[in-house]
Structure formats: structure tokens, C-alpha cells
Structure 1
Amino acid sequence: MRETTVEDVLGLFCTSASTRERFEGWKADPRRVEVAPLVLAHRTRVLYLIAEEDIEGVCRDTEHALGQVNRADGESVREIVDWHPDFAFTHTFHTCVERIGAVPTYQQFREFALHDADGQRMLGNPSKETIRRVV
């Protein structure tokens, strides 16, 4: 099975002393204590199995993340708009894809974030804490 590992990514993008230094700084950042081990252990496999029809199905079946919330109202909550969780959404998304074995609809991604142990740690719990603080 085809896969991409952190070693593959580092070999492609972390080739200079400057990028190596930035990478080492990212790993040493106290906000990355939980992030770095999970990201560094990640292996991408499922994305190599995805077909165009799979993406079309996700686009057709997914709900909008804001539901019926007016865009202007959603964007008026600056603390939410400017929120940056420790785990990047990309890390959470890739973990979700590998866990469920498919590109998720919004509903599946939300389910992952709220009910999977890694999803809760990466996005679900931090988002709940931020909402509680803001509201």
C-alpha cells in the first residue's frame, strides 16, 4: 500500500538549515507538546485510495458547517474567527480521514471531533472550551 510518512515530508520540505531550525522550533514549542508526537507518527494512506466520485459524493452529501447561521453573524464573533487551536485543522482532518477510511462529510468530521478520543483532544474539547469562554 502506498503511504507518505513524516520522513517523506521532511525529506521534501526540510532541506535547508533554516527550515530544519524552524521545524525543531515547532517541535519544541510548549503548545505542541501533544501535537508533535501525533503529527510525527502520522501516515497518509487513505488519500491514495480516494476517487473523484468519492469527493463528488462528499460535496453532495455534506452539510454546511454554519448550518443556518448568517455569515455576517458568524463572522462577528471575533474570538471564534481568530481562534487557532493547538492542532491545526489540517492535522485533525488528516487524522480523521485515516481513522474513518474516507474523506469525511462535515457531519462525519464533527462526529470525529466530538466522539473519537483523538478528535476530542485535537478539536472537540478545545472548541467546547473556547465556546464556553466566549459565550
Structure 2
Amino acid sequence: MVATVTSATDVEQLFAAQGEGRRILLQWKSRKPRVAERVMSHVSAAPYTVRSAQFDSFIFGHPLKRITSVSAYKQVKIRDWFPDFAMVHLFHFLLEEKGGLFSYQEFREFCMGDEAGRGFSQQAQDKVRDLVAREGEDESAARDAMAWRVGNGYYSFLREIYLVAKLRESGLDARIHPLADALFRVDAWCGRTTIEMFVANPNFKDNQGGRKKTTAHYLEDQKRFDFVRMQITPQHGFGVLHLPTSEEVNRCIADLQKMPDVSYL
């Protein structure tokens, strides 16, 4: 059997051949050539080998420790901080390197050995130091906010990989790639239907708005895509990876099956 793979060229041809998507891609390549070179060479294969059952026993670690969202969100300048390589880029790089799921500790080790990871760590440290030195922020609070930001990004990435696994296990040809995720907010897609998964939070994104732009904002001008928005209920508790419930996944599957240009395995 031929392995399923998704290249950056596949993403470009689908989402950035024209319109706003094309403009955003070219602008990004011009603004961040070093980042673009690596992301455009990335091929996603490992996500399609992950099975949803693996999440039951895999030990991911607990990146958020005892940090609360209330204290973390006070650091708006870290909440809105955007490093050269997006976290989702690094998570995908490591997923391919490992050939499957990885723990948060393995991500920390990756950031010590990989060039892009080292750059990310340095930028994170510089951001914390800048807030402390220039703006008088409490160092412990600033470090906690950064840890929250990265830890939440890791958990969000795992939810996306889990969703892709569940969709493929249902017979849908779900695809994923860091180029689509970081540039167009496409968490996954099936044919010409995109999937945008989010935890309801009025400060960031919910069905009434939020500050984060939706996938449709970037792609609807092309008038050839359908958009499925998958809102998942916030869960509370430390030390647990919160995955979408069976009901939420089944609702997403049902929404996808209604779309005319969905791809199946």
C-alpha cells in the first residue's frame, strides 16, 4: 500500500493558487524566507499513521503545571507573541522526526537540538527578558505565561492529530499540513471542505466572533470551499489532555458528509 503524504505544494495548489490565499502565501515567503524554505519542504506522512486509540495510553506530560489561565492571560504581550517559526511548524517537524506521537519533554529536547527549535526557544527567552527588563513585569509571571502559551499550543496540536485520526477511521480522507494550519487556520481538510476546530472562548474564538480570524476570512473569496467549524466544549482540570468528545467528533463527521466536495478513503 502506498503511504499517504501531503506536501506543501499540495497545500499551495489547493488553497493558494489564487485570491487572498495567494497574496498571503507570497507575502509570507517574502517576509520570512528562511521559515518558508523549511515549511515548503515539509511533507506530512506521520499524522496518517496515528490511531485514535494511541491517545488512551500515551504519556504526554503536563506542560501547564499549576498555571491558571487567568494569570497567564494577563500577559497580553505573550498571548499575542508570534515567533518566526510558529509552534505548529515545530510540532509537525517533530511528529515527522519521531514518526508518531511525542511527549512535551521530547518537544523540549527537540528545541535544544533542532535549529528552528533553538531559534524558537531563544526568541521565547528574549521575550520574557524584555518584559521583565523594559516593562517591569514579574519574571515568574512572565515565564508562567510563556509556558502556558506553548503548553496550550501543544495540546491544541494533539487535538488536531486526534481529530484527523478519528476522521480517517470513519472513512474520510482527512488531511493536515503546517502550511495550511499556520497561514490559513485550516486545522484539517477533506477534499474542498476545511475544518476549523476551537474551544469556545470569547477572547479568542467562538461562534459569535472572538479576536482570531476564521478560515473563511482567508479563503472564502475563492468561492470554491466549504467550511466546517467544530466548536468543542471547554473542559477543566489539570494534567489531562482534553480531547473532543465522541458526540463532537460525530457531529463534525455528519457535517462533513453533508458537503458536496468531501473526499473519502
Does structure 1 residue 80 correspond to structure 2 residue 78?
yes
Amino acid at match of 1:36: A
TM norm structure 1: 0.83
Looking at structure 1, the residues matched to 34 and 27 of structure 2 have their Cα atoms a distance apart, in angstroms, of 15
Partner of 1:36: 36
Looking at structure 1, the residues matched to 36 and 56 of structure 2 have their Cα atoms a distance apart, in angstroms, of 32
Aligned partners of 2:85 and 2:116 also within 8 Å:
no
Amino acid at match of 1:2: T
Tell which structure's C-alpha radius of gyration is larger.
Answer: 2
Partner of 1:56: 56
1:65 aligns with one of 58, 63, 66: 63
Looking at structure 2, the residues matched to 77 and 19 of structure 1 have their Cα atoms a distance apart, in angstroms, of 31
Does structure 1 residue 125 correspond to structure 2 residue 122?
yes
Amino acid at match of 2:26: E
Question: Following TM superposition, where does structure 1 have runs of at least 4 consecutive aligned residues deviating by more than 4 angstroms?
Answer: none
Looking at structure 2, the residues matched to 80 and 62 of structure 1 have their Cα atoms a distance apart, in angstroms, of 24
- Tell me how many residue pairs correspond in the alignment: 130
Name the CA shift for 1:70/1:51 in 2 (closer, same or farther; >3 Å): same
Amino acid at match of 2:130: R
Question: Shift of residue 103 of structure 1?
Answer: 2.1
Aligned partners of 1:114 and 1:125 also within 8 Å:
no
Q: Which runs of 5+ in 2 are unaligned?
A: 133-265
Looking at structure 2, the residues matched to 132 and 92 of structure 1 have their Cα atoms a distance apart, in angstroms, of 22
Amino acid at match of 2:22: R
Name the CA shift for 1:75/1:82 in 2 (closer, same or farther; >3 Å): same
Question: Shift of residue 71 of structure 1?
Answer: 2.5
Amino acid at match of 2:7: T
Does structure 1 residue 97 correspond to structure 2 residue 99?
no
Q: Sequence identity, in percent? A: 28
Looking at structure 2, the residues matched to 107 and 4 of structure 1 have their Cα atoms a distance apart, in angstroms, of 27
Partner of 1:19: 21
2:8 aligns with one of 6, 9, 29: 6
Aligned partners of 1:96 and 1:119 also within 8 Å:
no
Looking at structure 1, the residues matched to 127 and 57 of structure 2 have their Cα atoms a distance apart, in angstroms, of 32
Q: Which has the higher strand share?
A: 2
Question: Shift of residue 57 of structure 1?
Answer: 3.2
Amino acid at match of 2:94: C
Looking at structure 1, the residues matched to 107 and 54 of structure 2 have their Cα atoms a distance apart, in angstroms, of 15
Aligned to 2:57, the other structure's residue is in SS state: helix
Q: Deviation per CA, 1:6-65, whole angstroms, max 9, x where unpaired?
A: 111112112324422221111111xx132110101101111111111223334xx22332
Q: Which runs of 5+ in 1 are unaligned?
A: none
Q: Deviation per CA, 1:43-95, whole angstroms, max 9, x where unpaired?
A: 1111111111223334xx22332212232222222221111112112111111
Name the CA shift for 1:22/1:74 in 2 (closer, same or farther; >3 Å): closer
